[in-house]
Amino acid sequence: MKDFDALKDIWHSQLAAPRLSYEDILKGIRKSKASFANKLLVETIGMFFAIVLFALIWLDSSSMMWTTHLSLLIFLVCCLYYLFVQVRDYRSISNSEHLLKEPEEYISYLKDYRRKRYALNTRKYTVYSIFIGIAFGLYFVEIYFSSPLWHTIAGIVAIALWFIICWYLMKTYIRREQERLTGMIEKLERLEKQFSTEHN
């Protein structure tokens, strides 16, 4: 019986979670946060250049059908919305450093942030994609009337392929982003649990 108890004690000691270093966890959280903020910044800069490109195309083209003007307006509004969201999220994650002093508050902030990002990348992205699709459809009205039929068909096929690729990449993007945020939350929760057991 003593051997069995000793074996049970060894087994439980091996299953015990390793102690976490507060400094290591915070260093990892800060690194993940900085990496995430940098990714948002790069996406924001990319969207800014897309807005400038659409504006230049719109200003440079003198003769356009009303459908083309409407399509470029939809493109610009969609890009401006995306730019606004990315800037807001970048500022939010960058300015959350002070919350690290309060782990419970930071965990709550990250959970809320993860939920909002998931909603943005799923429901809001679907609406965004529908408007982009409408803009492309309106743009191809002019292509249909001013170019050979094969240009229109090739363009529609290319856009359809682009949407399929974006859908696939978006699924991967959502999974990685959620994993990164979940990893940050889990590390903080383990640290908080460790502190609560130490003080009891």
At 154-186, the pLDDT tens digits run 888 988 998 899 889 999 989 998 898 888 888
Residue 14: what pLDDT?
45
How high is the mean pLDDT of the chain? 81
Residue 72 DSSP class: H
**More reliable by pLDDT, 147 or 24:** 147
pLDDT in tens, 42-58: 989 998 998 998 888 88
In the prediction, which pLDDT does 11 show? Answer: 47
Q: Which amino acid is at 4?
A: F
Report d(CA 97, CA 36) in Å as an integer. 13
pLDDT at 185: 84
Q: What is the DSSP string of 130-190?
A: HHHHHHHHHHHHHHHHHS-HHHHHHHHHHHHHHHHHHHHHHHHHHHHHHHHHHHHHHHHHH
